[in-house]
A and B are shown apart, each in its own frame.
Chain A
Amino acid sequence: MRKTAEATELGSSKVYKYQRLPSGLVEQLVSIYRTMFPHSTVPDEFYQHVVRKLDDQAAIDQDLSGLLSDGVEALNRRAGSGWTGLSEEARLKALKEAEQTPFFQRLRSDFVFHFYSNPAIWPLFGYEGPSNDKGGYLHRGFNDIDWIKGEEV
């Protein structure tokens, strides 16, 4: 995992206007995602990127807004005091209890799908992305591993 500084440069600082999801819901979804998929050095922008994808989907899928808002509401109810007042441990417990719900599964699969396929995040993880237009890795380290010596192979 690379340092945060690079991430801030790559993350979008533009103000994004959500089409379907109300701002309170957006904020809580980002917070839920940070608990579900904790990458401590990754800025919120990259988590918001996934919520924007949900917002895009909600414009097409009539049921999605309801699934998300109902799911968040149920999570708050299950948590008792509401999401924001909970400790990280209590948040995890609430999520674990919701793990089998369609709401949770939708959140989970959309995150795995959208978060890691965002090219802007690849440098943070050390994945270098498209290579053919840079001549592949033939002269860019395809065999540069240095902790295994030639005689070991």
Chain B
Amino acid sequence: MPRKFDLDDGSLMVIIGSGAGGGTLGNELAQKGIRTLILEAGPRIEREQHVDDERQSFGQLTWLDKRTTSGSWAVAKNYPKVPAWTCKVVGGTTVHWAGCALRFQEHEFRTKDVYGDIPGASLLNWPLTLSEIEPYYDKAEDKLGVTGTHGIPLHNACNNQIVMAAGAKKVGYKEYFTGNMAINSRPRDGRPATTQDGFCYQGIRSNAKWSTLNTEIPKGEATGNLEVRPQCQVLRIEHDNSGKVTGVVYADKRGNHHRQRARIVCVAGNSIETPRLLLNSASSKYPDGLANSSGQVGRNYMRHTSGTVWAIFDKPVRMHRGITMAGWIKDERYHKPNRDFVGGYYMEIMHLGLSFLAGNMATNADFGGWGSEYTRVMEAYENIAGMRLVGEDMPQATNCVTLNPTEKDQFGLPIPNIHVDDHPNDIAMRNDAYERGGMVYDAVGATRIIRVPEGLAAHNLGTCRQSARHEDGVCNKWGQTHDIKNLFISDGSQFTTGAAANPTLTIVALAIRQAEYIADQMAKHL
């Protein structure tokens, strides 16, 4: 039975956020017998209520509280009101993710050594290595039921992937397949196999996709050690005179404030809300915000170098039928010193329904979002194939989440501003990826290739990065903040660099590892 904990229970683990980091950590701790409370800002919307409709689903799941954005990235122009696509529901953004579950490559943990000095980039080696995290990748893949691992069969290719794979073969690529997906290819863990329904972003109606909402959270609750308190948005984290955190103040759905005591606080609000909360928790002892003696909180925001390549054919593709992103080309993921950029990227199939494709196509600068060229493209809907480009972007100290100096949210707290300037490396990589993505489709007879700039940031990373040295980051290799021993970062904010891979599997692996560390530290009386 789910537990109900007291506000005054100062022996609790309190986790802020219930997504890939927070939801996983909560279950892992609960399984170890540690009494854990998750405070989630959004409501609990069970999968039966999820809808196969892009717009309705967007309204139902997305974090729509106002954010501002600045800088040269395309998002500031095209999506100024909702720069990031994160979710405000129990399950966090795992309700909305596409299910791509990739490991980082070995060199991506030590980019400072491998890439060298890149002007303008704040590259840093992770304080941990691939071999240290590998056992946790194994556990994470097993937990998520990732296809192509642990004897789980790969998915069958859908139309969109059949087109991309045929093009990949023709241009000489070797590593193309239906991907390592956290979507069941056969019944597993009490959940059914995929029906190729095509609504991977719009929740988990089919229950085939792993999300903390349908796995970690109910499993944790079943132990009797986990409570998930929805519609409770944490406003600040409090501390005592010694500097240790003592609990949090949150607003419930009626706007009433409550003080929840805690033994340890783990922040997993994603790379925008996590630094915002630390900054909004500034006090006389920590005037620059919690865990921010290095000045690194909010800095090095990353979102992957991204963009979309659409291809129009003279015959039907019907890309919307099938798993949204079950199709990858991995050949460009490597760091190849002979290219004019460092790091690598993946090509991953992606489809949109008519509604979101209309908005996406409207951001193509060539035809300006109206006129006969635009409508001709839309009329070709059935004949379009598409891929999303996902590559490593450069961390930059000036790409950062800060508090907006004038605008406040419904609780009177400063809203976050996300500032991003493309690094020259990001631009060079994106151009290469556009070029090669177009070649893949040209090889199978595309009549037109359309490049669309990056959309709302779905991979939000960095901002509270792990670092070996106190002054270079915010937390150590366990996610424990350098400044405050009982305050942890438990989401993608702790990424030192972003790698080319979609981030969720790494967030989950780090959460499993962090749970072990916390249990060990608690035994040692943290």
Contacts and interface: CB of A to CB of B under 8 A. Distances in A.
B378 interface: yes
Interface string B185-216: 00000000011111100000110000000000
A141 B318 contact: yes
A127 B55 contact: no
Given A131-B198, A143-B158, A153-B169, A148 B163 contact: yes
B315 A136 contact: no
B166 interface: yes
Interface string A123-138: 0011111111101111
Given A39-B379, A128-B321, A147-B315, A153 B162 contact: yes
Interface string B364-400: 0000111110110011111000000000000000000
Interface string A40-67: 0000000000000000000000000000
B314 to A, nearest CB: 9
A116 B368 CA distance: 17
A147 B163 CA distance: 9
A148 B166 contact: yes
B355 interface: yes
Given A127-B320, A152-B169, A153-B157, A136 B194 contact: yes
Contacts of A16: none
A145 B318 contact: yes
Given A132-B197, A136-B195, A136-B197, A126 B318 contact: yes
Contacts of A37: 370-371, 374-375
Interface string B63-93: 0000000000000000000000000000000
A91 B322 CA distance: 41
Interface residues of A, number: 41
B369 A142 contact: no
Contacts of B317: 145
A116 B357 contact: yes
A142 B354 contact: no
B368 A142 contact: no
Contact of A142 (B196, B358, B374): B196
Given A126-B316, A128-B320, A153-B166, A115 B381 contact: no
Q: Give the most central of B51, B206, B370: most A CB within 10 Å.
A: B370
B159 interface: yes
A98 B85 CA distance: 32
Interface in B27-69: 51-55
B158 A113 contact: no
Contacts of B321: 128, 131, 137, 140-142, 144
B358 A127 contact: no
A5 interface: no
Interface in B388-442: none
Nearest to B56: A117
Interface in B465-516: none
B165 A153 contact: yes
Contacts of B166: 148, 152-153
A36 to B, nearest CB: 5
B446 to A, nearest CB: 12
A125 B378 contact: yes
A87 B362 CA distance: 26
Nearest to B372: A38
Contacts of B156: 142-143
A142 B315 contact: no
B199 A132 contact: yes
B444 interface: yes
B287 interface: no
Interface in A78-129: 92, 99, 108-109, 111-113, 115-117, 119, 121-122, 125-129
Interface in B138-181: 156-159, 162-163, 165-166, 169-170
Given A127-B353, A128-B318, 10 more contacts: A36-B370, A38-B371, A117-B355, A126-B318, A127-B354, A135-B195, A136-B195, A144-B159, A145-B163, A152-B444
Interface of B: 51-55, 156-159, 162-163, 165-166, 169-170, 194-199, 205-206, 315-318, 320-322, 353-355, 357-359, 362, 368-372, 374-375, 378-382, 444
8 smallest CB-CB distances across A and B, nearest first, come from A136-B195, A126-B382, A136-B197, A130-B52, A116-B358, A117-B355, A137-B321, A142-B196
28 contacts: A1-B379, A36-B371, A37-B375, A38-B371, A109-B362, A113-B359, A121-B354, A130-B51, A130-B199, A131-B195, A132-B52, A132-B195, A132-B205, A136-B194, A136-B195, A136-B198, A137-B195, A138-B194, A141-B321, A142-B196, A143-B322, A144-B159, A145-B159, A145-B317, A148-B166, A152-B169, A152-B170, A153-B162
